[in-house]
A = this chain, B = another copy of it.
Amino acid sequence: MSEIQRPGALYRQVAAAIRDAIASGEYPPGAPLPSEAQLIERYQVSRPTVRNAVAALRSEGLLEVIHGKGSFVRGASSPVVTIDRSVSQDDGGAFTTEGAAEWEEVEEPHIYRTHTNAVTGPQLGLREDEALFGVDRLLIDTTTATRVLHQTLIPFATAEGTDLAEHPGTEPARIYALLAAAGHTLWWSETVRARMPLPDERTSLQLQDATPLLETTRVTHGTKDHPLILEVLRTSADRAQLAYRITPDPTPKLRATRT
């Protein structure tokens, strides 16, 4: 072996050596790494050790391995799409949720009835087992092919007396307009988290290895004291980032929450 020696496990040394080689530009983004056989030769280690090292780099998101072809350097994955989470309202009262123009539904939205659970109940200010409409959408950005899972949960209490009871599959921006027309002054609170995807999320969002999931939960508040709508958006952290616009809030913090 040439450049490896000190720290701990052999495979970590090999991983570090490869990491350095990538950082030094020896293997630029997109370039193929030497094959396992060549790495075995170069570092004079066994195949399990090489595979262990490659696996480590893969879990760091540094490599992409394609069966039958080889390992490739995955350039610093910077998000491709910026999803603007601010909400605009034009003179006519119509709302624009950024992206409405860019995203396209690939399938019919899945509309169903469900109930609040231990998570969604508190978020909506409801007890558990309260009736909800649910709408699941799979959206795809037409230019970048970025996929987004979008779920809308509408309490019966919110839908009652509006068009929503008949057409829960209405698009969010129209729902906002509906609620505003019903006399609500709307504002939203949103939380953002990230986690590793579940197996089914990996497939439906077509996530690569070591790609976290970005998940944002938006609660629509109206003039009444309890929340009106719950929306959850899930997408690949590799492909998308979220954008917010913040203006100073004259009301001293009401929202110091802790779970």
Residues from chain B with Cβ under 8 Å of A69 in the complex: none
Residues 26-56 of A, flagged 1 when their CB comes within 8 A of B and 0 if not, give 0000000000000000000000000000000
Interface readout for A7-38 with B: 1 if CB under 8 Å, 0 if not? 00000000000000000000000000000000
A150 to B95, CA, bound (A): 35
A245 at the interface (CB under 8 A from B): yes
Q: Are B85 and A237 in contact (CB under 8 A)?
A: no
* A193 in contact with B253 given A60-B198, A199-B60, A247-B247 (CB within 8 Å): no
Complex-state Cα separation, A189 to B238, whole angstroms: 20
Inter-chain contact A191/B257, CB cutoff 8 Å:
no
A98 at the binding interface (Cβ < 8 Å): yes
Closest chain B residue to A58, Cβ basis? B59
Report which of B77, B88, B214, B249 forms a contact with A252, defined as CB distance below 8 A. Answer: B88
Tell me if B248 and A196 are in contact (CB < 8 A): no
Distance from A212 Cβ to chain B, minimum over Cβ atoms (Å): 3
Shortest Cβ distance from residue A48 to the other chain B in the assembled complex, whole angstroms: 9
Contact A245 B187 (CB under 8 A): yes
Q: A237-B212, A245-B255 are in contact. Are A195 and B88 (CB under 8 A)?
A: no
Asked whether any CB of chain B lies closer than 8 Å to the CB of A169, the reply is no
Q: Closest residue of chain B to A93, judged by CB?
A: B248
- A210 CB–B CB distance under 8 Å: yes
A81 CA / B257 CA spacing, docked (Å): 8
Whether A194 pairs with B214 at a CB distance below 8 angstroms is yes
Tell whether A145 is near chain B: CB-to-CB under 8 Å: no
The 6 closest A-B pairs by CB, nearest first: A194-B194, A212-B212, A194-B237, A188-B246, A193-B241, A89-B248
19 more A-B contacts (CB under 8 A) besides A84-B257, A189-B245, A192-B243? A59-B59, A81-B258, A81-B259, A84-B255, A86-B249, A87-B247, A88-B248, A88-B251, A96-B253, A98-B256, A189-B243, A189-B246, A190-B246, A191-B242, A194-B213, A243-B255, A244-B246, A245-B249, A245-B255
